[in-house]
A and B are shown apart, each in its own frame.
Chain A
Amino acid sequence: MKNLLARPIVRLLLAVVIAVVIIVAPISSSSFINYQLSLIAVFAVALLGLNIVMGYTGQVSLGQSAFLGLGAYIAAYGVRQEWPVVVIFLLCCIIPAAVGLLVALAAARLRGLALAMVTIALPIIGVPLAKRFPDFTGGSVGSTVSWLEAPEGSGLADDQFRYYLVVAIAVVLFILGRNLVRGRIGRAFAIVKSNEAVALSMGISPYRYKVLAFTIASLFGGASGFLYIAVVQYTSPETLSFATSINLVAAMVIGGSASILGTVLGAIYFVMLPVVAGQIDSSRTALISGAALLLVLFLLPGGLVSLPRRIAQLVRGGRGGSPRSRAAADRPPTGDTAPRTTAAPEAEKQPR
């Protein structure tokens, strides 16, 4: 299966199939399904930002919902002021990014628990702040907009039009994000996560790259706030609540940390789990969500994205050996582990 996926032609075909599914999906679906699919795209963007700072760069961020909320409020305000859509979108990116940059300039000096505390403060301060400025935010009631109706003559329903708009923006942002986490910048993020001393010796300032990762995360958070207003047409202090941040972190881990595909899976989980759990038993939604969370973490510590690898492991080597050897490979190499791996690769290396 892995070899098959490595072939360019297979990858191309797969990409075409996925593209066709994405384009065809909303045509015959109900508006409820289109709404859910659009929400997946919305939260995928927020999760991508979170994954860049937390999954790829290893910096705890429990404040992503604050940027989502900020973006949503800016968009709602912009709609009320009847600004052009493009201007609103740009402001939804730039203002949260600027706020994120300012916070990161101070916060990126911290690590671990101290950093987590600073990022927690963002949604915790954000909620009362949003209630305090009703002229801008609509206070505790929130603000509703009526926006982005399908252009006449397009033949699209509003939900279909919004779906295409949101998915198109999300796809572009995902391409940019993917470009960032590969190559020069991505390698720098990865070494800042795993070893700052080595990063320094490569001419990489960990501080700068942490600030960069936070800024990008805030930008993506703000952009997802714009998409949120495009789909939901309503925002309230609830959008940026701390609980949303925690759920985003859970979704990121469940989808797959430091993985683009995992980010999409995480967004599907984030949006669909409450829906599915509500259908099973609407009075025990939280309980079912919690159970699902534990189940995934227990069976797939690498997230949903590691499912094919995990299945391959189980098929190949039984249950005992493989997970342990993977854990060993994740550990940094030390002198005393020498006998573990020396023999086989040596034999591989000699011939030729």
Chain B
Amino acid sequence: MAAELVLRDINLRFGGIKVLQDVSMAVESGRIFGLVGPNGAGKTSLFNCISGHYRASSGSITIDGVETSGKSASQMTKFGLARTFQHPALQLHETVLENVLLGAHSTLAGGPVSWALRMPWTTRSEKAARTEAAELLERLGLGDVADTPAGELSPGLHKTIELVRALLSKPRLLLLDEPAAGLSHTEVEAFIASIRGVRDDFDLTIVIVEHHMGLISAVTDRVMVLDHGATLMEGTAREAQSDPRVIEAYLGQASTAEVSGEPAGA
């Protein structure tokens, strides 16, 4: 069952810098929600709050009504959350299959002792995970390269590998951080064509941070525009694109300087 995500009055401060100010949003179960805004608007910071990588200074985050703010990022898989990063961080010398299997970490059975002794349940669950991973790779068009080292593939394929890795943890809520960054035109088209199918097949709620407006209008049900850490507007992608405040935030006035520092990386 796809998850419902609700944020209420999220504030995030780093020292004196207000990165997020009273951000609220509600993503209904099974929707694709877009998060847009100029560089430094706080989109990735908001992602990091939801995924537990940052702790919000105040406010509440609930997944299916369960409060998750304050939980450690490593606990979030238990709440059905998975995410991708701007830079996929794959093990480039390992095969694609080995890379995506990392996503099965939280579903595999056994601790260090069982794995050192190769107890039957560890090999059994590893085998099941490998089968599932191979099927997922096939499903997303990576079946042919499952045994190729990830380093030999294009950045565009790295994004897909990362998506499969995230899906393997069986999420109900998926956060995609700039899935189109570094993708070629054809790869973006392929992503647009597949993402709704992925949502339906895996019964997901998806939140996307993306600069590619074509992608945002093609796949999202609703969007929220962030600027300087605050909500500028919420509506459909079409409404956002014609909203004068959004246009001003993006194109801006010559004197507008970026003040809210969005920490680099994820």
Contacts and interface: CB of A to CB of B under 8 A. Distances in A.
A332 interface: yes
Nearest to A201: B83
Residue from B52, B112, B169 with most neighbouring chain A CB atoms (10 Å): B112
Interface residues of B, number: 56
A146 interface: no
Q: How large is the interface on A (under 10, 10 to 19, 20 to 34, 35 or more residues)?
A: 35 or more
A216 B90 CA distance: 25
14 contacts: A183-B115, A184-B108, A187-B105, A191-B102, A200-B51, A200-B52, A201-B53, A202-B102, A204-B105, A205-B74, A335-B155, A338-B184, A345-B157, A349-B157
Main secondary structure of the interface of A (DSSP, over half): helix
Given A184-B122, A334-B182, A345-B145, A203 B158 contact: no
A127 to B, nearest CB: 31
A203 B75 contact: yes
Contacts of A198: 85, 89
A205 B51 CA distance: 14
Contact of A332 (B51, B87, B102): B87
Contacts of B90: 333
B159 to A, nearest CB: 9
A258 B184 CA distance: 35
Contacts of B51: 200-201
A152 interface: no
Nearest to A200: B73
Contacts, number: 134
A183 B122 contact: yes
B75 A342 contact: no
Interface stretch (B146-154, B220-228, B254-262): B146-154
B89 A195 contact: yes
Interface of B: 51-53, 72-78, 82-83, 85, 87-94, 98, 101-106, 108, 110, 112, 115-118, 122, 126, 141, 144-145, 151-158, 165-166, 169, 181-182, 184, 265-266
A-B complex: 6 closest residue pairs judged by Cβ atoms: A203-B77, A335-B182, A203-B106, A200-B73, A195-B89, A329-B151
Nearest to B123: A183
B167 to A, nearest CB: 12
Given A201-B77, A345-B154, 8 more contacts: A177-B116, A184-B115, A185-B115, A197-B53, A197-B266, A330-B93, A341-B152, A346-B154
Contacts of B72: 200, 205
A59 to B, nearest CB: 16
A342 B91 contact: no
A201 B35 CA distance: 20
A330 B152 CA distance: 11
A349 B102 contact: no
Interface string A170-182: 0000001101100
A159 B150 CA distance: 48
A177 B52 CA distance: 32
A349 B83 contact: no
B116 A338 contact: no
Contacts of B112: 180, 185, 212, 216
Contacts of B169: 202-203
A99 B66 CA distance: 39
Contacts of B93: 329-330
A279 interface: no
B145 A349 contact: yes
A337 interface: yes
A264 interface: no
Nearest to A190: B91
Given A184-B122, A187-B101, A201 B73 contact: yes
A332 B106 contact: no
Contacts of A342: 154-156, 184
Nearest to B74: A205
A29 interface: no
A27 B65 CA distance: 71
A135 interface: no
